[in-house]
Chains A and B, each alone.
Chain A
Amino acid sequence: MGRYIIRRVLWVALVMLIVTFFAFLIFYVMPTADAATIFAGRQPTPETIAEVRKQFGLDKEWYEQYGKFVSDIVTGDEYGWPGFNMSYATRAPIRETIFDRVGVTFQLAVGAAVLWLAIGIPIGIVSAIRKGKMPDRIGMGFALFGVSAPVFWLGIMSLFIFWHKLQWTPGTGYVPFGEDPGEWFGHMILPWGVLSMLYAAVYARMVRSNLLETMGEDYIRTARAKGLKESRVIGKHGLRASLTPVVTMIGLDFGVLLGGAVVTESVFNMNGLGSFLINSVRVGDLPSVTAVIVFAAFFVTFLNLIVDIVYAYLDPRVRYA
């Protein structure tokens, strides 16, 4: 088990190195636009552009820039660890901004994940055990709606109904929990609901199909033949097997969300990583874009690592594969 974990950790490190390389390549080497020109004002002199280029470190060879980029992440920079340097746009340390924002994204992702599991799994189970009947049709109707409805539309509609018309919720924005727990919940409930809708639909469909497949297995027939109650057959034998892939999916989906729920954060005006990424792309703030990409990649690979380790623990065959 120890060797397996070490092997997986080394893989994560390699993947992260590859991600940093391509992120750097795409944003620093390939663009034809000179970032120094963009950030030197609207009537820049050649001297001004040269000074900005120097301060951004763009006057060095690309491989030197890349080396510094990676070493700053690993060993830290003048602003602390991990080092993402300074934002071109805000002239503030990116590390500070990311740490401020990741908390918001984390709260959004955790709340949404709880909701989508609480909604998606029961719907999937009910749809599977009542296959072809009214609950199945309603459940799969919900799933179809959830999968089809764009998040931005759901967001705008929910704001229109629950804030603008009914005034049940306080509208957009984010209020820290420590400041006012009631306001925090009021501002989070709609983003959670909207974000969870898509995932709940996907999970409902996945649980339904997995459970249906499992219920056709020989060992389920054996369990029934032994005279076990149907609830025990489903609960102990059917669900246990059919929910295993859900663990993998949660790990992946949660990791992706921690990289920023771009649309939800934008619609609900939440200062998370997703909205930071969008804005950084819009203004050409390359260090911020690459920092968010690296940060998001870290979450995805780290949560994959956790999932792999959990799997290896549950199923020893995986360790020897």
Chain B
Amino acid sequence: MSKKRYLRFMALFVVLALTAAACGGSESDDEPSGSSQNEDEGGVQAGGVYRVGVLESFNYTNGFDPTGEYLGSAFSMYGNLLLRTLVGYRHVAGDAGNEVIPDLAELPEISGDGLTYTFTIKDGVMFGPPLSRQITSDDALYAFERIGTESLVAQYGFYYDVIEGMEEFKSGKADTISGISTPDDKTIEITLTKPAGDFLQRVAMPAAAPVPREVGECFKKAGEYGRYLVSSGPYMTEGSDEQDASSCDTLKPLSGFEVDSLHAFVRNPDYDPATDTTEARENFPDRFEFIINKNQKDIFDKVEAGEYEDELSSPLPQVLKKYSTTPELEDRLKINSGDRTWYVSMNLTQPPFDDVHVRMAANLVMDKEGLQRAWGGPLRGEIATHVVPDVMLNGELDDYDPYPSENFAGDVDAAKEHMKLSKYDTDKDGLCDAPECKGVLHYTRNVSPWTDMLPVEEASFEKIGIELQTRELADFYTPFQDVSKAVPIGSGAGWGKDYADASTFMVLFDSRSLLPTGNINYSLIGLTPEVAADLDVVEALTAGGTLEGIPSVDADIDACTEAAEGERNTCWAELDKKLMEEIVPWIPYLDATNVHIISPNVTQWDYDQSAGYTAYAHVAVDADAQ
């Protein structure tokens, strides 16, 4: 090709490209379905794609079937994008994000005794394709029936045992749930066996989102429905409109859910913004893509390059440092309360931690500032001084620290004073000197930050005479949750809320949740010789430990659960103090933050406090920059 011909070709190419771009621009100006309320509000425009890099895998715990799915990131996708519940959240940061507001229904009428909740479903709320029909009270009832169907494995189904007749339905003794009635298509009445101040928050969980019976009943095994999910929110899984729901046999897995690579959501044409509020959902992007990427560094490179808008990963230390120290990047580093506590757990049945004075001394001596540094400093969280994160107790325990020390570096003298009261300090010099204090088995994780915490922990315990024998594990939870292992102390544990009520933390201390394996009450609070016999762990625990004199807080938990709305926080705060001062099962050290890094294409971003992830309902992107 001659130079002249080449230049002509290039000129033609440029003209065609510009024409194509202009045509593309006019197309993007078309108003997308369901976005009329949001067009160009305050400089934020509808349109574009919100791409999220997901590390390794979606990690769904139940195949994305809302009945059993128990993963926080899935909760955020459901609540923000796909599923509307009878009542829901605003999906914003802070206390306002934890407040329950109307969604498919108005806030319910609650009977004087606090036992009956009557919801009225709004007009015009619809299931998306392939059904495109009004959501009824029967769909809400069916969601509860799914929770009570054992084969569908509702992983947090225990939250709904408080509904009258649920246990009979679960066990197959009854065909219906006697405590739920649907007098008409719009009304659903739920009766409880005892008052539960947090019941509305339970109703706001994804498992309670209405499910269309005609599709849901096609799937009898746990997790199967996730690939066929019918949307009730502003978005739907891509391919929903190609689905044929005329019979169970014609249903096919949705094309937008490739279980190991991509989860794509597009606008739901049956979503009517008039039935929702912009306070809860603004729905700016036309499309959401959750893309699996096994390379953590690559995720952050792509966010920086604008190839992803957001990430579901954990920022690498060098990424965190870069964004926190570069002024032009600071706006793209988002730090919010994770409503999660990280802690060292002590086993009340095993020496030397079967002595409360040793546990108190351990709390006093621990260099929590050192542990925070191992995590990456204050960006990763504030130092925790009690069980429940402060934000969940509405400030009740903001300044509470039963084991204070200067700069949280540990108070060795105070710790020794407590150790002197222990039976394991035989010469009363403030050091643990009994044989049980040497080679104390300690489980932790074999990755950072736990490996970085280890020197700090060992040095702290040595100051009171305790020598740890540490095992660094790739899989920390499985052996640590096995009661028969009788592990005295473990440092890999953390716990986040299910919803913003302290009850979701107190389950960790409830003796009724004790299990031989998969146990989450690591300290074994409330364990009695009888319960230990039921769990078949007597021999394992008494080989070196004891089952005598282990305190229980079951009655306190029951009292707080039934407490009226205004008294709940105070009740839980008092229980938190009792745990920290009288029982002392933990050394809490970090109220973790959730850190997100976003791309330069993101023009609006918020944090969903209720789910603990990005508020996808409120994000917006600069579509022209994509």
B153 touches A91 (CB 8 A): no
Q: A41-B70, A92-B259, A279-B56 are in contact. Are A171 and B478 (CB under 8 A)?
A: no
Q: Chain A residues near B479: list those with CB within 8 A.
A: 32-33
Q: Chain A residues near B59: list those with CB within 8 A.
A: 89, 283
CA distance A297 to B517 in the complex (A): 34
Interface residues of B in 280-315 (CB under 8 A from A): 292-295, 297-298, 301-302, 305, 307
CA distance A101 to B156 in the complex (A): 33
CA distance A87 to B302 in the complex (A): 30
Q: A269-B293, A283-B59 are in contact. Are A91 and B515 (CB under 8 A)?
A: no
What 1/0 mask marks residues of chain B from 199 to 229 whose CB sits below 8 Å from any chain A CB?
0000000000000000000000111101100
A279 touches B70 (CB 8 A): no
Q: Chain B residues near A279: list those with CB within 8 A.
A: 56-57, 260, 294
B298 touches A269 (CB 8 A): yes
In the complex, B253 has a CB within 8 A of chain A:
yes
Which residue, B157, B302, B475, B478, has most C-beta atoms of chain A within 10 A? B478
A92 touches B253 (CB 8 A): yes
In the complex, A265 has a CB within 8 A of chain B:
yes
B221 touches A55 (CB 8 A): yes
CA distance A170 to B3 in the complex (A): 29
Q: Chain B residues near A148: list those with CB within 8 A.
A: none
Instruction: Looking at the assembled complex, report how far the CB atom of A173 sits from the nearest CB atom of chain B, in whole angstroms.
Output: 8
Q: Chain A residues near B221: list those with CB within 8 A.
A: 55, 91
Q: Chain B residues near A71: list those with CB within 8 A.
A: none
In the complex, A46 has a CB within 8 A of chain B:
yes
Stretch at the interface among A179-187, A240-248, A270-278, A298-306: A270-278
A171 touches B155 (CB 8 A): no
CA distance A181 to B371 in the complex (A): 51
- Number of A positions contacting B (CB below 8 A): 46
B520 touches A42 (CB 8 A): yes
Which of A43, A97, A159, A282 has a CB less than 8 Å from the CB of B156? A43
B294 touches A171 (CB 8 A): no
- Grouping DSSP codes into helix (H, G, I), strand (E, B) and loop, the B interface class, with mixed when no group exceeds half, is loop
B156 touches A172 (CB 8 A): no
CA distance A38 to B259 in the complex (A): 19
B151 touches A41 (CB 8 A): no
CA distance A33 to B474 in the complex (A): 13
Which of A38, A49, A90, A173 has a CB less than 8 Å from the CB of B478? A38
A46 touches B515 (CB 8 A): yes
Which residue, B158, B224, B517, has most C-beta atoms of chain A within 10 A? B517
CA distance A113 to B529 in the complex (A): 65
Q: Chain B residues near A269: list those with CB within 8 A.
A: 293-295, 298
Q: Chain A residues near B224: list those with CB within 8 A.
A: 91
CA distance A71 to B253 in the complex (A): 26
Q: Chain B residues near A49: list those with CB within 8 A.
A: 515, 518
Stretch at the interface among B4-12, B60-68, B428-436, B540-548: B60-68
Instruction: Looking at the assembled complex, report how far the CB atom of A27 sits from the nearest CB atom of chain B, in whole angstroms.
Output: 14
A271 touches B153 (CB 8 A): no
B260 touches A91 (CB 8 A): no
User: A33's closest neighbor in chain B, by CB?
Assistant: B478
Which of A33, A43, A55 has a CB less than 8 Å from the CB of B507? A43
CA distance A261 to B261 in the complex (A): 17
A33 touches B153 (CB 8 A): no
B222 touches A91 (CB 8 A): yes
- Number of B positions contacting A (CB below 8 A): 52
In the complex, B513 has a CB within 8 A of chain A:
yes
Q: Chain A residues near B520: list those with CB within 8 A.
A: 42-43
In the complex, A116 has a CB within 8 A of chain B:
no
Q: Chain A residues near B297: list those with CB within 8 A.
A: 156
B60 touches A90 (CB 8 A): yes
A44 touches B515 (CB 8 A): yes
Q: A91-B63, A92-B63 are in contact. Are A43 and B292 (CB under 8 A)?
A: no
In the complex, A164 has a CB within 8 A of chain B:
yes
Q: A41-B68, A44-B155, A47-B150 are in contact. Are A275 and B294 (CB under 8 A)?
A: yes
Instruction: Looking at the assembled complex, report how far the CB atom of A50 sits from the nearest CB atom of chain B, in whole angstroms.
Output: 9
Q: Chain B residues near A100: list those with CB within 8 A.
A: 258, 260
Q: Chain B residues near A92: list those with CB within 8 A.
A: 63, 227, 253, 259
A90 touches B259 (CB 8 A): yes
Q: Chain A residues near B65: list those with CB within 8 A.
A: 91
Interface residues of A in 31-58 (CB under 8 A from B): 32-34, 37-49, 51-52, 55
Q: Chain B residues near A172: list those with CB within 8 A.
A: 293, 295, 298, 302
Which residue, B63, B170, B482, B513, has most C-beta atoms of chain A within 10 A? B63
CA distance A31 to B619 in the complex (A): 44
CA distance A89 to B226 in the complex (A): 12
User: B521's closest neighbor in chain A, by CB?
Assistant: A43
Q: Chain A residues near B293: list those with CB within 8 A.
A: 172-173, 269
What 1/0 mask marks residues of chain B from 508 to 539 whose CB sits below 8 Å from any chain A CB?
00000101011010000000000000000000
CA distance A156 to B57 in the complex (A): 21
Interface residues of A in 255-276 (CB under 8 A from B): 265-269, 271, 275-276
Q: Chain A residues near B259: list those with CB within 8 A.
A: 87, 90-92, 97
Which of A52, A97, A268, A284 has a CB less than 8 Å from the CB of B295? A268
Which of B153, B223, B258, B513 has a CB less than 8 Å from the CB of A43? B513
Which of B222, B227, B478 has a CB less than 8 Å from the CB of A55? B222
User: B294's closest neighbor in chain A, by CB?
Assistant: A266
Q: A44-B155, A91-B62, A97-B259 are in contact. Are A37 and B56 (CB under 8 A)?
A: no
B517 touches A34 (CB 8 A): yes
Q: Chain B residues near A266: list those with CB within 8 A.
A: 294-295
CA distance A52 to B517 in the complex (A): 14
Q: Chain A residues near B61: list those with CB within 8 A.
A: 39, 41
Instruction: Looking at the assembled complex, report how far the CB atom of B498 sits from the nearest CB atom of chain A, in whole angstroms.
Output: 9
A171 touches B307 (CB 8 A): yes
CA distance A37 to B61 in the complex (A): 12
CA distance A47 to B154 in the complex (A): 11
Q: Chain B residues near A267: list those with CB within 8 A.
A: 295, 298
Q: A43-B156, A45-B158, A51-B153 are in contact. Are A276 and B295 (CB under 8 A)?
A: no
A278 touches B68 (CB 8 A): no
Instruction: Looking at the assembled complex, report how far the CB atom of A115 sits from the nearest CB atom of chain B, in whole angstroms.
Output: 22
B70 touches A42 (CB 8 A): yes
CA distance A279 to B221 in the complex (A): 23
User: B520's closest neighbor in chain A, by CB?
Assistant: A43
B298 touches A48 (CB 8 A): no
Which of B63, B307, B518 has a CB less than 8 Å from the CB of A40? B518
Instruction: Looking at the assembled complex, report how far the CB atom of A262 sits from the nearest CB atom of chain B, in whole angstroms.
Output: 10
Which residue, A91, A97, A173, has most C-beta atoms of chain B within 10 A? A91
Q: Chain A residues near B156: list those with CB within 8 A.
A: 41, 43
Which of B58, B157, B518 has a CB less than 8 Å from the CB of A37? B518
Which residue, A43, A92, A267, A276, has most C-beta atoms of chain B within 10 A? A43
User: B517's closest neighbor in chain A, by CB?
Assistant: A37
A271 touches B260 (CB 8 A): yes
Q: Chain B residues near A51: list those with CB within 8 A.
A: 150-151, 153, 222
Instruction: Looking at the assembled complex, report how far the CB atom of A219 sits from the nearest CB atom of chain B, in whole angstroms.
Output: 52
User: A37's closest neighbor in chain B, by CB?
Assistant: B518
Q: Chain A residues near B518: list those with CB within 8 A.
A: 34, 37-38, 40, 44, 49
CA distance A39 to B150 in the complex (A): 15
Given A37-B517, A42-B155, A48-B155, 17 additional A-B pairs, CB 8 A? A32-B479, A39-B61, A40-B153, A41-B62, A43-B156, A43-B507, A48-B157, A90-B63, A164-B301, A172-B295, A172-B302, A173-B293, A267-B298, A269-B298, A271-B261, A276-B260, A279-B57
CB<8 Å pairs between A and B, sample of 13? A37-B517, A37-B518, A38-B478, A43-B158, A47-B150, A89-B57, A92-B63, A100-B258, A156-B297, A266-B294, A282-B56, A283-B57, A284-B475
Which B residues form the contact surface with A (CB < 8 A)?
56-63, 65, 68, 70, 150-151, 153-158, 170, 221-224, 226-227, 253, 258-261, 292-295, 297-298, 301-302, 305, 307, 475, 478-479, 481-482, 507, 513, 515, 517-518, 520
| Top 10 A-B residue pairs of the complex, sorted by shortest distance between their CB atoms | A41-B155, A91-B63, A91-B223, A37-B518, A90-B259, A33-B478, A92-B259, A266-B294, A269-B293, A41-B70
